[in-house]
Structure 1
Amino acid sequence: MDNFEIQRCIELRDFGVPARVQLHHYCDASSAAYGAVSYVRLVNQKGIPHCTFYMGKSRLAPIKPMTIPRLELLAAVVAVRLDSMLRREMRLEIHETIFWTDSMIVLQYINNTSKRFHTFVSNRVAIIHDGSLPSQWRHLDTASNPADDASQGLDAKQMLSCTRWKQGPDFLWRDESTWPTKQNVSSDLLNDDKEVKQVAKTCVVKAEAQGATVEKLLEKYSCWIRLKKAVAWILRFKTWLFDHRRMKTQACLTVHELRRAEQAIIGYLQRLHYGNELHALEDGGRICSKSSIYKLDPIVEDGMLKIGGRLQMAPLNDQAKHPLIVPTGM
Protein backbone atom coordinates (compact mmCIF):
# COMPACT_ATOMS: atom_id res chain seq x y z
CA MET A 1 0.00 0.00 0.00
CA ASP A 2 3.03 2.31 0.25
CA ASN A 3 2.97 2.50 -3.54
CA PHE A 4 -0.68 3.57 -3.77
CA GLU A 5 -0.88 7.23 -4.77
CA ILE A 6 -3.73 9.64 -5.45
CA GLN A 7 -3.21 12.98 -7.16
CA ARG A 8 -4.18 15.56 -4.55
CA CYS A 9 -4.18 18.60 -6.82
CA ILE A 10 -7.47 19.13 -8.68
CA GLU A 11 -6.47 22.04 -10.92
CA LEU A 12 -3.43 21.39 -13.09
CA ARG A 13 -1.05 24.26 -13.87
CA ASP A 14 -0.90 23.68 -17.62
CA PHE A 15 -4.62 22.90 -17.86
CA GLY A 16 -5.80 26.49 -17.78
CA VAL A 17 -8.81 28.05 -16.12
CA PRO A 18 -11.69 25.53 -16.09
CA ALA A 19 -14.71 26.69 -18.04
CA ARG A 20 -16.96 24.01 -16.56
CA VAL A 21 -16.75 22.05 -13.31
CA GLN A 22 -18.82 18.92 -12.70
CA LEU A 23 -19.23 16.56 -9.77
CA HIS A 24 -19.88 12.92 -10.65
CA HIS A 25 -21.05 10.52 -7.94
CA TYR A 26 -21.24 6.75 -8.48
CA CYS A 27 -23.00 4.37 -6.10
CA ASP A 28 -23.32 0.60 -5.89
CA ALA A 29 -24.14 -2.17 -3.41
CA SER A 30 -23.69 -5.89 -2.91
CA SER A 31 -24.67 -8.34 -0.21
CA ALA A 32 -21.34 -7.58 1.54
CA ALA A 33 -21.04 -3.79 1.35
CA TYR A 34 -22.28 -0.61 -0.26
CA GLY A 35 -20.66 2.70 -1.05
CA ALA A 36 -20.13 5.67 -3.33
CA VAL A 37 -17.22 7.44 -5.00
CA SER A 38 -16.98 11.03 -6.26
CA TYR A 39 -14.93 12.61 -9.06
CA VAL A 40 -14.37 16.18 -10.19
CA ARG A 41 -14.50 16.67 -13.95
CA LEU A 42 -12.97 19.85 -15.32
CA VAL A 43 -13.33 21.13 -18.88
CA ASN A 44 -10.98 23.91 -19.99
CA GLN A 45 -11.53 26.66 -22.54
CA LYS A 46 -10.46 24.31 -25.35
CA GLY A 47 -13.02 21.68 -24.35
CA ILE A 48 -10.41 19.24 -23.02
CA PRO A 49 -11.67 17.29 -19.97
CA HIS A 50 -9.71 16.20 -16.91
CA CYS A 51 -10.99 13.95 -14.10
CA THR A 52 -9.72 13.65 -10.54
CA PHE A 53 -10.65 11.25 -7.78
CA TYR A 54 -12.03 13.29 -4.90
CA MET A 55 -13.55 11.05 -2.26
CA GLY A 56 -14.82 7.54 -1.70
CA LYS A 57 -16.84 6.00 1.09
CA SER A 58 -17.90 2.41 1.70
CA ARG A 59 -19.77 0.67 4.48
CA LEU A 60 -20.36 -2.94 5.39
CA ALA A 61 -23.86 -4.27 4.83
CA PRO A 62 -25.95 -4.61 8.01
CA ILE A 63 -25.70 -7.89 9.91
CA LYS A 64 -29.43 -8.33 9.51
CA PRO A 65 -30.06 -9.61 5.96
CA MET A 66 -31.33 -6.92 3.61
CA THR A 67 -32.48 -7.00 0.00
CA ILE A 68 -30.15 -5.72 -2.72
CA PRO A 69 -32.58 -2.95 -3.79
CA ARG A 70 -32.56 -1.60 -0.22
CA LEU A 71 -28.76 -1.73 -0.13
CA GLU A 72 -28.60 0.04 -3.49
CA LEU A 73 -30.86 2.72 -2.04
CA LEU A 74 -28.53 3.11 0.94
CA ALA A 75 -25.64 3.58 -1.47
CA ALA A 76 -27.61 6.29 -3.27
CA VAL A 77 -28.12 8.07 0.06
CA VAL A 78 -24.34 7.97 0.65
CA ALA A 79 -23.81 9.56 -2.77
CA VAL A 80 -26.27 12.37 -2.00
CA ARG A 81 -24.62 13.08 1.34
CA LEU A 82 -21.19 13.12 -0.31
CA ASP A 83 -22.46 15.69 -2.79
CA SER A 84 -23.84 17.90 -0.02
CA MET A 85 -20.57 17.77 1.93
CA LEU A 86 -18.32 18.39 -1.10
CA ARG A 87 -20.41 21.32 -2.29
CA ARG A 88 -20.15 22.83 1.17
CA GLU A 89 -16.37 22.35 1.48
CA MET A 90 -15.08 22.91 -2.07
CA ARG A 91 -13.98 26.36 -3.14
CA LEU A 92 -14.55 25.64 -6.82
CA GLU A 93 -17.83 26.77 -8.35
CA ILE A 94 -19.75 23.62 -9.26
CA HIS A 95 -21.78 24.02 -12.43
CA GLU A 96 -23.40 20.58 -12.51
CA THR A 97 -23.80 17.44 -10.42
CA ILE A 98 -24.61 14.03 -11.91
CA PHE A 99 -25.38 10.84 -10.01
CA TRP A 100 -24.78 7.42 -11.54
CA THR A 101 -26.16 4.01 -10.56
CA ASP A 102 -26.41 0.63 -12.24
CA SER A 103 -29.67 -0.18 -10.42
CA MET A 104 -32.83 0.45 -12.44
CA ILE A 105 -35.00 -0.21 -9.38
CA VAL A 106 -33.35 2.72 -7.55
CA LEU A 107 -34.01 4.98 -10.52
CA GLN A 108 -37.65 3.88 -10.47
CA TYR A 109 -37.89 4.69 -6.77
CA ILE A 110 -36.38 8.14 -7.33
CA ASN A 111 -38.51 8.99 -10.38
CA ASN A 112 -41.73 7.67 -8.86
CA THR A 113 -44.60 10.16 -8.47
CA SER A 114 -47.62 7.91 -7.97
CA LYS A 115 -46.68 4.98 -5.72
CA ARG A 116 -46.42 4.99 -1.93
CA PHE A 117 -43.60 3.03 -0.33
CA HIS A 118 -43.09 1.38 3.00
CA THR A 119 -41.26 3.36 5.69
CA PHE A 120 -37.68 2.23 4.93
CA VAL A 121 -37.78 3.08 1.22
CA SER A 122 -39.94 6.16 1.73
CA ASN A 123 -37.49 7.73 4.19
CA ARG A 124 -34.43 7.09 1.97
CA VAL A 125 -36.17 8.39 -1.14
CA ALA A 126 -37.10 11.53 0.81
CA ILE A 127 -33.42 12.09 1.69
CA ILE A 128 -32.44 11.64 -1.96
CA HIS A 129 -35.12 14.10 -3.11
CA ASP A 130 -33.97 16.66 -0.55
CA GLY A 131 -30.40 16.55 -1.86
CA SER A 132 -30.92 16.00 -5.59
CA LEU A 133 -33.36 16.12 -8.47
CA PRO A 134 -34.58 13.02 -10.34
CA SER A 135 -33.24 14.54 -13.56
CA GLN A 136 -29.70 14.38 -12.14
CA TRP A 137 -29.76 10.59 -11.87
CA ARG A 138 -28.52 8.41 -14.73
CA HIS A 139 -28.00 4.73 -15.41
CA LEU A 140 -24.80 2.98 -16.48
CA ASP A 141 -23.68 -0.62 -16.78
CA THR A 142 -21.90 -2.38 -13.92
CA ALA A 143 -18.65 -2.72 -15.86
CA SER A 144 -18.35 1.07 -16.08
CA ASN A 145 -19.33 1.74 -12.47
CA PRO A 146 -16.26 2.49 -10.28
CA ALA A 147 -18.42 2.19 -7.14
CA ASP A 148 -18.53 -1.53 -7.89
CA ASP A 149 -14.99 -1.64 -6.50
CA ALA A 150 -16.30 -0.27 -3.20
CA SER A 151 -19.13 -2.79 -2.93
CA GLN A 152 -17.17 -5.84 -4.10
CA GLY A 153 -13.86 -4.87 -2.50
CA LEU A 154 -10.30 -4.69 -3.80
CA ASP A 155 -7.15 -6.11 -2.31
CA ALA A 156 -3.85 -4.22 -2.29
CA LYS A 157 -2.61 -5.55 -5.63
CA GLN A 158 -5.92 -4.77 -7.33
CA MET A 159 -5.90 -1.21 -5.99
CA LEU A 160 -2.46 -0.63 -7.48
CA SER A 161 -3.42 -1.99 -10.89
CA CYS A 162 -7.01 -0.70 -11.04
CA THR A 163 -7.19 2.68 -12.80
CA ARG A 164 -10.99 2.90 -12.77
CA TRP A 165 -11.10 3.68 -9.04
CA LYS A 166 -8.43 6.40 -9.21
CA GLN A 167 -9.37 8.03 -12.52
CA GLY A 168 -13.05 7.27 -12.96
CA PRO A 169 -14.69 5.49 -15.90
CA ASP A 170 -13.23 5.99 -19.35
CA PHE A 171 -16.24 7.86 -20.73
CA LEU A 172 -15.67 10.76 -18.30
CA TRP A 173 -12.48 11.53 -20.22
CA ARG A 174 -14.41 11.80 -23.48
CA ASP A 175 -17.00 14.19 -24.87
CA GLU A 176 -20.47 14.06 -23.30
CA SER A 177 -21.98 12.84 -26.55
CA THR A 178 -20.25 9.47 -25.94
CA TRP A 179 -21.67 9.01 -22.43
CA PRO A 180 -24.29 6.35 -21.67
CA THR A 181 -27.66 7.42 -23.06
CA LYS A 182 -30.04 8.85 -20.48
CA GLN A 183 -32.99 6.47 -20.18
CA ASN A 184 -36.63 7.31 -19.59
CA VAL A 185 -37.57 5.63 -16.33
CA SER A 186 -41.17 4.54 -15.83
CA SER A 187 -42.69 3.67 -12.46
CA ASP A 188 -45.07 1.14 -14.03
CA LEU A 189 -42.59 -1.64 -13.23
CA LEU A 190 -43.17 -1.01 -9.51
CA ASN A 191 -46.64 -2.58 -9.55
CA ASP A 192 -45.35 -5.91 -8.23
CA ASP A 193 -42.60 -4.49 -6.01
CA LYS A 194 -42.79 -5.57 -2.36
CA GLU A 195 -41.75 -2.10 -1.19
CA VAL A 196 -44.88 -0.51 -2.69
CA LYS A 197 -47.81 -0.14 -0.34
CA GLN A 198 -50.86 -1.96 -1.56
CA VAL A 199 -53.96 0.17 -1.92
CA ALA A 200 -56.59 -1.02 0.49
CA LYS A 201 -59.71 -2.31 -1.19
CA THR A 202 -62.61 -0.42 0.30
CA CYS A 203 -66.23 -1.37 0.10
CA VAL A 204 -68.14 1.48 -1.55
CA VAL A 205 -71.74 1.82 -0.44
CA LYS A 206 -74.05 3.25 -3.08
CA ALA A 207 -75.97 6.38 -2.17
CA GLU A 208 -79.27 4.61 -2.79
CA ALA A 209 -78.39 1.78 -0.42
CA GLN A 210 -77.13 4.22 2.22
CA GLY A 211 -80.30 6.27 1.93
CA ALA A 212 -82.44 3.15 2.24
CA THR A 213 -80.62 2.20 5.44
CA VAL A 214 -81.30 5.60 6.99
CA GLU A 215 -84.91 5.47 5.89
CA LYS A 216 -85.35 2.13 7.66
CA LEU A 217 -83.90 3.64 10.79
CA LEU A 218 -86.33 6.56 10.60
CA GLU A 219 -89.26 4.24 10.02
CA LYS A 220 -88.35 2.01 12.95
CA TYR A 221 -88.60 4.77 15.56
CA SER A 222 -91.75 6.84 15.86
CA CYS A 223 -90.47 8.64 18.96
CA TRP A 224 -88.07 11.54 18.45
CA ILE A 225 -86.18 10.91 21.70
CA ARG A 226 -85.70 7.21 20.95
CA LEU A 227 -84.51 8.04 17.43
CA LYS A 228 -81.92 10.50 18.78
CA LYS A 229 -80.65 7.95 21.29
CA ALA A 230 -80.32 5.26 18.61
CA VAL A 231 -78.35 7.59 16.33
CA ALA A 232 -76.24 8.75 19.28
CA TRP A 233 -75.25 5.16 20.06
CA ILE A 234 -74.32 4.60 16.41
CA LEU A 235 -72.17 7.75 16.37
CA ARG A 236 -70.48 6.72 19.61
CA PHE A 237 -69.65 3.32 18.11
CA LYS A 238 -68.30 5.04 14.98
CA THR A 239 -66.04 7.25 17.14
CA TRP A 240 -64.87 4.22 19.09
CA LEU A 241 -63.90 2.41 15.88
CA PHE A 242 -61.68 5.31 14.84
CA ASP A 243 -60.02 5.94 18.20
CA HIS A 244 -60.97 3.23 20.69
CA ARG A 245 -57.60 3.38 22.47
CA ARG A 246 -58.04 6.94 23.71
CA MET A 247 -61.80 7.02 24.06
CA LYS A 248 -63.21 6.58 27.54
CA THR A 249 -66.62 4.94 27.28
CA GLN A 250 -69.47 5.98 29.54
CA ALA A 251 -72.55 4.04 30.52
CA CYS A 252 -75.02 6.80 29.59
CA LEU A 253 -75.24 9.10 26.62
CA THR A 254 -74.10 12.67 27.16
CA VAL A 255 -75.95 15.83 26.17
CA HIS A 256 -73.25 16.55 23.58
CA GLU A 257 -73.78 13.14 21.97
CA LEU A 258 -77.54 13.68 21.81
CA ARG A 259 -77.00 17.06 20.14
CA ARG A 260 -74.67 15.48 17.61
CA ALA A 261 -77.30 12.85 16.86
CA GLU A 262 -79.96 15.53 16.41
CA GLN A 263 -77.75 17.48 14.02
CA ALA A 264 -76.95 14.30 12.08
CA ILE A 265 -80.65 13.45 11.64
CA ILE A 266 -81.69 16.96 10.64
CA GLY A 267 -78.68 17.33 8.37
CA TYR A 268 -79.59 14.10 6.54
CA LEU A 269 -83.22 15.17 6.11
CA GLN A 270 -82.20 18.60 4.86
CA ARG A 271 -79.94 17.13 2.21
CA LEU A 272 -82.70 14.71 1.25
CA HIS A 273 -85.41 17.38 0.85
CA TYR A 274 -83.42 20.57 0.22
CA GLY A 275 -80.28 19.23 -1.43
CA ASN A 276 -80.35 21.70 -4.35
CA GLU A 277 -80.82 24.69 -2.07
CA LEU A 278 -78.03 23.54 0.25
CA HIS A 279 -75.55 23.02 -2.60
CA ALA A 280 -76.42 26.40 -4.12
CA LEU A 281 -75.77 28.25 -0.85
CA GLU A 282 -72.58 26.31 -0.13
CA ASP A 283 -71.23 27.33 -3.56
CA GLY A 284 -71.95 30.98 -2.80
CA GLY A 285 -75.00 31.24 -5.07
CA ARG A 286 -78.68 31.93 -4.50
CA ILE A 287 -81.58 29.51 -4.29
CA CYS A 288 -84.39 29.41 -6.81
CA SER A 289 -87.35 31.68 -6.12
CA LYS A 290 -89.70 28.73 -6.62
CA SER A 291 -88.19 26.88 -3.66
CA SER A 292 -90.51 26.24 -0.73
CA ILE A 293 -88.00 27.82 1.67
CA TYR A 294 -87.18 30.86 -0.48
CA LYS A 295 -89.16 33.26 1.73
CA LEU A 296 -87.20 32.11 4.79
CA ASP A 297 -84.03 33.66 3.31
CA PRO A 298 -82.02 30.56 4.38
CA ILE A 299 -78.38 30.61 5.34
CA VAL A 300 -75.87 27.78 5.90
CA GLU A 301 -74.19 27.36 9.28
CA ASP A 302 -72.29 24.28 10.42
CA GLY A 303 -73.34 22.56 7.21
CA MET A 304 -77.08 22.94 7.92
CA LEU A 305 -79.84 25.22 6.64
CA LYS A 306 -81.06 27.86 9.06
CA ILE A 307 -83.55 30.68 8.83
CA GLY A 308 -82.05 34.05 7.95
CA GLY A 309 -83.82 37.32 7.29
CA ARG A 310 -84.91 39.64 10.06
CA LEU A 311 -84.45 36.91 12.67
CA GLN A 312 -80.72 37.51 12.42
CA MET A 313 -81.19 40.74 14.36
CA ALA A 314 -82.95 39.05 17.27
CA PRO A 315 -80.90 39.59 20.47
CA LEU A 316 -81.29 35.97 21.59
CA ASN A 317 -79.02 32.94 21.73
CA ASP A 318 -77.64 31.41 18.52
CA GLN A 319 -80.26 28.67 18.30
CA ALA A 320 -83.13 31.21 18.46
CA LYS A 321 -81.19 33.63 16.31
CA HIS A 322 -80.97 31.15 13.44
CA PRO A 323 -83.58 28.37 13.86
CA LEU A 324 -83.01 25.17 11.92
CA ILE A 325 -85.15 24.47 8.87
CA VAL A 326 -86.82 21.06 9.01
CA PRO A 327 -89.03 19.42 6.37
CA THR A 328 -92.77 19.40 6.82
CA GLY A 329 -94.03 16.51 8.91
CA MET A 330 -91.12 16.26 11.34
Structure 2
Amino acid sequence: MAKAKVTPIKPLTIPKLELTAVMLAARLAKYIYEAYADELSIENIYLWTDSQITLYWLSSKKLLPVYVQNRIDEIKALVPDAGFRYVSTKDNHSDKVSRGTSHATLICSSLWWGGSTWLPHQNMWLDNGPFEEVGDATTSCLLEETLSMPASVTLPAILN
Protein backbone atom coordinates (compact mmCIF):
# COMPACT_ATOMS: atom_id res chain seq x y z
CA MET A 1 0.00 0.00 0.00
CA ALA A 2 1.24 3.51 -0.72
CA LYS A 3 0.04 6.88 0.43
CA ALA A 4 1.09 10.24 -0.95
CA LYS A 5 1.11 13.38 1.12
CA VAL A 6 1.61 17.01 0.18
CA THR A 7 4.73 18.60 1.69
CA PRO A 8 4.18 21.10 4.51
CA ILE A 9 4.25 24.87 3.91
CA LYS A 10 7.37 25.30 6.03
CA PRO A 11 10.19 23.88 3.92
CA LEU A 12 11.78 20.66 5.19
CA THR A 13 14.84 18.83 3.95
CA ILE A 14 14.35 15.70 1.87
CA PRO A 15 15.62 13.46 4.71
CA LYS A 16 13.08 15.00 7.12
CA LEU A 17 10.31 14.47 4.57
CA GLU A 18 11.41 10.84 4.20
CA LEU A 19 11.34 10.46 7.99
CA THR A 20 7.83 11.92 8.03
CA ALA A 21 6.83 9.32 5.42
CA VAL A 22 8.08 6.51 7.69
CA MET A 23 6.12 8.04 10.57
CA LEU A 24 3.00 7.97 8.38
CA ALA A 25 3.76 4.33 7.52
CA ALA A 26 4.10 3.54 11.24
CA ARG A 27 0.69 5.11 11.91
CA LEU A 28 -0.81 3.09 9.09
CA ALA A 29 0.84 -0.13 10.30
CA LYS A 30 -0.48 0.36 13.81
CA TYR A 31 -3.97 1.08 12.49
CA ILE A 32 -3.95 -2.06 10.32
CA TYR A 33 -2.53 -4.16 13.16
CA GLU A 34 -5.25 -3.01 15.56
CA ALA A 35 -8.02 -3.26 12.97
CA TYR A 36 -7.21 -6.89 12.15
CA ALA A 37 -5.92 -8.08 15.54
CA ASP A 38 -9.02 -10.24 16.15
CA GLU A 39 -9.08 -11.73 12.65
CA LEU A 40 -5.41 -12.28 11.80
CA SER A 41 -2.32 -13.43 13.59
CA ILE A 42 0.25 -10.77 12.64
CA GLU A 43 3.66 -12.00 13.73
CA ASN A 44 5.95 -9.35 12.22
CA ILE A 45 5.74 -5.82 10.89
CA TYR A 46 8.24 -4.54 8.33
CA LEU A 47 8.39 -0.95 7.16
CA TRP A 48 10.29 -0.11 3.99
CA THR A 49 11.99 3.14 2.98
CA ASP A 50 14.29 4.25 0.21
CA SER A 51 15.99 6.67 2.62
CA GLN A 52 19.20 5.36 4.09
CA ILE A 53 19.43 8.47 6.28
CA THR A 54 16.09 7.55 7.87
CA LEU A 55 17.32 4.01 8.48
CA TYR A 56 20.45 5.42 10.12
CA TRP A 57 18.35 7.68 12.37
CA LEU A 58 16.13 4.75 13.34
CA SER A 59 19.14 2.66 14.37
CA SER A 60 21.16 5.48 15.96
CA LYS A 61 21.90 5.49 19.68
CA LYS A 62 23.05 9.14 19.48
CA LEU A 63 20.92 12.09 20.47
CA LEU A 64 19.44 13.47 17.26
CA PRO A 65 18.08 16.93 16.40
CA VAL A 66 14.75 17.62 18.14
CA TYR A 67 12.57 17.35 15.01
CA VAL A 68 14.18 14.03 14.08
CA GLN A 69 14.22 12.61 17.62
CA ASN A 70 10.54 13.41 18.18
CA ARG A 71 9.55 11.51 15.05
CA ILE A 72 11.86 8.59 15.81
CA ASP A 73 10.32 8.37 19.30
CA GLU A 74 6.80 8.36 17.83
CA ILE A 75 7.69 5.69 15.26
CA LYS A 76 9.20 3.45 17.92
CA ALA A 77 6.20 3.97 20.20
CA LEU A 78 3.74 3.15 17.40
CA VAL A 79 5.53 0.01 16.16
CA PRO A 80 8.10 -0.95 18.80
CA ASP A 81 8.94 -4.34 17.31
CA ALA A 82 8.86 -3.39 13.62
CA GLY A 83 11.70 -4.21 11.30
CA PHE A 84 12.91 -1.42 9.03
CA ARG A 85 14.28 -2.26 5.60
CA TYR A 86 15.78 -0.51 2.60
CA VAL A 87 14.09 -0.59 -0.80
CA SER A 88 15.85 0.92 -3.79
CA THR A 89 14.14 3.82 -5.51
CA LYS A 90 13.57 1.77 -8.66
CA ASP A 91 11.60 -0.81 -6.65
CA ASN A 92 9.69 1.72 -4.54
CA HIS A 93 6.13 1.96 -5.82
CA SER A 94 5.47 5.06 -3.70
CA ASP A 95 7.91 7.02 -5.84
CA LYS A 96 5.56 6.64 -8.79
CA VAL A 97 3.27 9.38 -7.45
CA SER A 98 5.92 11.56 -5.83
CA ARG A 99 7.91 11.87 -9.05
CA GLY A 100 5.07 13.04 -11.24
CA THR A 101 3.81 9.98 -13.10
CA SER A 102 0.93 10.46 -15.50
CA HIS A 103 -2.33 8.72 -14.73
CA ALA A 104 -2.02 6.65 -17.91
CA THR A 105 1.38 5.36 -16.84
CA LEU A 106 0.14 4.71 -13.31
CA ILE A 107 -2.87 2.72 -14.50
CA CYS A 108 -0.58 0.38 -16.45
CA SER A 109 2.13 0.13 -13.78
CA SER A 110 2.48 -3.35 -12.29
CA LEU A 111 4.87 -1.85 -9.70
CA TRP A 112 2.16 0.56 -8.52
CA TRP A 113 -0.63 -2.01 -8.34
CA GLY A 114 1.35 -5.00 -7.13
CA GLY A 115 4.48 -3.69 -5.47
CA SER A 116 7.91 -5.19 -5.96
CA THR A 117 7.79 -8.73 -7.27
CA TRP A 118 10.31 -9.93 -4.66
CA LEU A 119 8.35 -8.61 -1.67
CA PRO A 120 6.11 -11.66 -1.09
CA HIS A 121 9.19 -13.91 -1.15
CA GLN A 122 10.63 -13.38 2.34
CA ASN A 123 13.52 -15.74 1.68
CA MET A 124 14.87 -13.08 -0.71
CA TRP A 125 15.11 -10.33 1.92
CA LEU A 126 14.36 -11.52 5.46
CA ASP A 127 17.95 -12.33 6.41
CA ASN A 128 19.33 -9.11 4.93
CA GLY A 129 20.33 -6.27 7.18
CA PRO A 130 18.19 -3.14 7.06
CA PHE A 131 20.56 -1.36 4.64
CA GLU A 132 20.99 -4.22 2.16
CA GLU A 133 19.32 -3.79 -1.19
CA VAL A 134 17.29 -6.67 -2.53
CA GLY A 135 18.85 -7.62 -5.83
CA ASP A 136 16.73 -7.56 -8.95
CA ALA A 137 18.53 -10.44 -10.68
CA THR A 138 15.76 -12.78 -9.62
CA THR A 139 12.98 -10.22 -9.93
CA SER A 140 12.16 -10.96 -13.55
CA CYS A 141 11.68 -14.67 -12.95
CA LEU A 142 9.28 -13.94 -10.08
CA LEU A 143 7.12 -11.66 -12.20
CA GLU A 144 5.12 -14.58 -13.55
CA GLU A 145 4.55 -15.97 -10.05
CA THR A 146 3.21 -12.75 -8.57
CA LEU A 147 -0.46 -11.98 -8.89
CA SER A 148 -1.51 -8.46 -8.04
CA MET A 149 -4.92 -6.89 -7.78
CA PRO A 150 -5.79 -3.24 -7.18
CA ALA A 151 -7.38 -2.51 -3.83
CA SER A 152 -9.31 0.42 -2.46
CA VAL A 153 -8.88 1.40 1.19
CA THR A 154 -10.51 4.20 3.15
CA LEU A 155 -8.13 5.57 5.74
CA PRO A 156 -9.19 7.05 9.08
CA ALA A 157 -8.61 10.76 9.81
CA ILE A 158 -5.61 9.97 12.06
CA LEU A 159 -3.57 8.99 9.00
CA ASN A 160 -4.27 12.17 7.04
Question: Normalising to structure 1: TM-score of the pair?
Answer: 0.36
Q: What's the CA shift string for 1:253-292, capped at 9, x where partnerless?
A: xxxxxxxxxxxxxxxxxxxxxxxxxxxxxxxxxxxxxxxx
Shift in CA distance, 150/132, structure 1 to aligned 2, threshold 3 Å:
farther
Q: What's the CA shift string for 1:52-95, capped at 9, x where partnerless?
A: xxxx3211112222111100000000000000111122232222
Distance in 2 (alpha carbons) for counterparts of 1:63 and 1:125: 22
Which sections of structure 1, spanning at least 5 residues, go unmatched?
A: 1-37, 39-55, 186-330
Distance in 1 (alpha carbons) for counterparts of 2:81 and 2:59: 6
Match for 2:75 among 113, 128, 139? 128
1:100 is paired with a residue of what secondary structure? strand
Q: What's the CA shift string for 1:153-189, capped at 9, x where partnerless?
A: 432201211111111111024x32223862366xxxx
Distance in 1 (alpha carbons) for counterparts of 2:104 and 2:22: 28
* Residue aligning to 2:155: none
Is residue 96–residue 106 contact of structure 2 (8 Å, CA) maintained in 1?
no
Distance in 2 (alpha carbons) for counterparts of 1:183 and 1:93: 25
2:48 is paired with a residue of what secondary structure? strand
1:119, CA displacement in angstroms?
1.5
* Residue aligning to 1:57: 3
Letter in 2 for 1:155: S
Question: Normalising to structure 2: TM-score of the pair?
Answer: 0.72
Match for 1:137 among 84, 88, 113? 84
Matched, 1:66 2:12: yes
Is residue 101–residue 139 contact of structure 1 (8 Å, CA) maintained in 2?
yes
Distance in 2 (alpha carbons) for counterparts of 1:127 and 1:71: 15
Displaced runs of 4+ in structure 1, greater than 6 A?
A: none
Q: Select the structure that is richer in strand.
A: 1
Is residue 100–residue 138 contact of structure 1 (8 Å, CA) maintained in 2?
yes
* Residue aligning to 2:43: 95
Distance in 1 (alpha carbons) for counterparts of 2:11 and 2:81: 28
Distance in 2 (alpha carbons) for counterparts of 1:93 and 1:184: 24
Is residue 84–residue 130 contact of structure 2 (8 Å, CA) maintained in 1?
no
Letter in 2 for 1:104: Q
Letter in 2 for 1:176: Q
Shift in CA distance, 68/180, structure 1 to aligned 2, threshold 3 Å:
farther
Shift in CA distance, 103/159, structure 1 to aligned 2, threshold 3 Å:
same
Match for 1:169 among 116, 119, 123? 116
Distance in 1 (alpha carbons) for counterparts of 2:100 and 2:126: 25
Match for 2:24 among 74, 78, 100? 78
**Two-structure CA RMSD over aligned residues (Å):** 2.1
CA radius of gyration, larger in:
1
**How many residues of Structure 1 are paired with residues of Structure 2 in the alignment?**
129
Query: Percent identity, aligned pairs only?
Result: 29
> What are the within-5 Å matches in structure 2 for residues 270-281 of structure 1?
none
User: Which has the bigger relative contact order, CA under 8 A and spacing at least 6?
Assistant: 2
